[in-house]
Chain A
């Protein structure tokens, strides 16, 4: 019930902001699990508000509920851009608790995490349908970007006509290949970065202001 109330509240908040004069755009941070979405959300939030959004982890599906950071004000070239950041659970077509057993997790915990992660994907997809004005699509640049999930999600985003930026994350790692991502999605702007190390964040904020301001 608490969850319901929370949802209702968030919806009514959403409804009320619809009518406010200066709507901060709501930017969804999407991508597959472990791409660094929360690390990025935390980096942005810390840089501009001083707070974090949520815990980061190397275990996939750490973020199992969408988390929001409202009124993040990003200043660029003397202008300021206000956005709400929505950090979403990693989207995937399969969730398997056995994956978590490798991370020293008890079976019960792994099954619960798996169930919550699945709910999280449903929530993320729901947000994408109704509640975001723009998308930052985060990819792990050490991984092959040609996946069913990426293709499908980017296809959905395109069909919604949402402004989208592709972030090639983890460029601090040796195996990183930004080019591979650019080749995969040549129709979209790809911004290389390391959210963990804070590499290339200036360009990140420039692009955010440009696309979502």
Chain B
């Protein structure tokens, strides 16, 4: 019972994609991840989980689930998965303001694509780690190793923004493009890590390609290959009501939505 809605307590099997569009029962978009080990370790938490009483606070329960094994990678997985799910599902009502965060969950996906990180021994991880200097990435790598195949594949399946609960189309439009733009630096990084371990990365490729295509299909009016290199979808640009008025260094762009004329 790894995933649980923090609002109504509905649980989802590991690897479930159901909750990616919000909790089907209450529409909540915050979930916690409860690994099997934590259920076994602590009888208190395993007792509490199956019967989520209305007065059980969601926040403490998240803490509890993380506490049992703070040191090992499972705890990191929990934190990571919870954060990722929260980020993925969290619609951003603040529009552009939250877009940097919104872009974040998209970043790890390409590298954690279906399977490869599980199949491969640690040998490849240092390569990926060396590529990026951030410890964050290493954490992600170790987290993904601990995931099972179903979950990895579930995480690699991209949720189209259209599938998420609608929250104001103009804001969605404003929020979505950065998600395309921001991966641009990571885009090149991914390409780098793709070419280096090419011989043992066969399975990874179709997944990455697919993912990229899917992302490009979603946010296609301007694709930022890297800063200074752009691909434009003329039909999309033509059909858009909002008007792009400024591209920014970090790949975000500003649009003027028709309502505010």
Q: Which A residues are within 8 Å of any B CB, using their own CB? A: 3-4, 7-8, 11, 91-98, 107, 110-111, 114-115, 118-119, 121-123, 125-126, 128-129, 149, 152-153, 156
A184 to B234: give the CA distance in the assembly, Å. 20
Nearest-Cβ distance from residue A69 to partner chain B, whole angstroms: 22
Question: Which of A96, A111, A114, A122 makes the CB contact (< 8 A) with B237?
Answer: A122
- A119 near B245 (CB under 8 angstroms)? yes
Contacting residues, chain A, for B246 (C-beta < 8 A): 3, 119
| B245 and A4 form a contact (CB under 8 A) | yes
Whether the Cβ atoms of A122 and B243 lie closer than 8 Å is: yes
Within 8 A of A (CB), among B23-69: none
Is the CB–CB distance between B231 and A93 below 8 Å?
yes
Query: Does the CB pair B232–A121 fall under 8 Å?
Result: yes
Question: A3 contacts which chain B residues (CB < 8 A)?
Answer: 245-246
Q: Could you tell me the dominant secondary structure of chain A's interface residues?
A: helix
Is the beta-carbon distance between B228 and A122 smaller than 8 angstroms?
Answer: no
Known: A8-B261, A118-B247, A119-B245. A110 touches B238 (CB 8 A): no
Interface residues on B, range: 20 to 34
Q: Which residues of B contact A111 (CB under 8 A)?
A: 227-228
What are some 29 contacts across the A-B interface (CB < 8 A)? A4-B245, A4-B256, A93-B232, A94-B229, A95-B230, A95-B232, A96-B228, A97-B229, A98-B228, A110-B228, A111-B227, A114-B229, A114-B230, A118-B222, A119-B244, A119-B245, A119-B247, A121-B232, A121-B237, A122-B232, A122-B237, A122-B244, A125-B238, A126-B240, A128-B238, A149-B234, A152-B234, A156-B234, A156-B238
Q: A154 CB to closest chain B CB, in angstroms? A: 12
Which of B228, B234, B239, B240 is A97 in contact with, Cβ under 8 Å? B228
In the complex, chain B residues whose CB is within 8 Å of the CB of A122: 221-222, 232, 237, 243-244
Tell me whether B135 is interfacial, beta carbon within 8 Å: no
A146 CA / B251 CA spacing, docked (Å) = 32
Q: Is the CB of A114 within 8 A of B228?
A: yes
In the assembly, what is the distance between CA of A107 and CA of B231, in Å? Answer: 19
Q: Given A8-B261, A98-B228, A118-B232, 11 other A-B contacts at CB below 8 A?
A: A7-B245, A98-B229, A115-B230, A115-B247, A118-B230, A119-B246, A121-B232, A122-B237, A128-B238, A129-B238, A156-B235
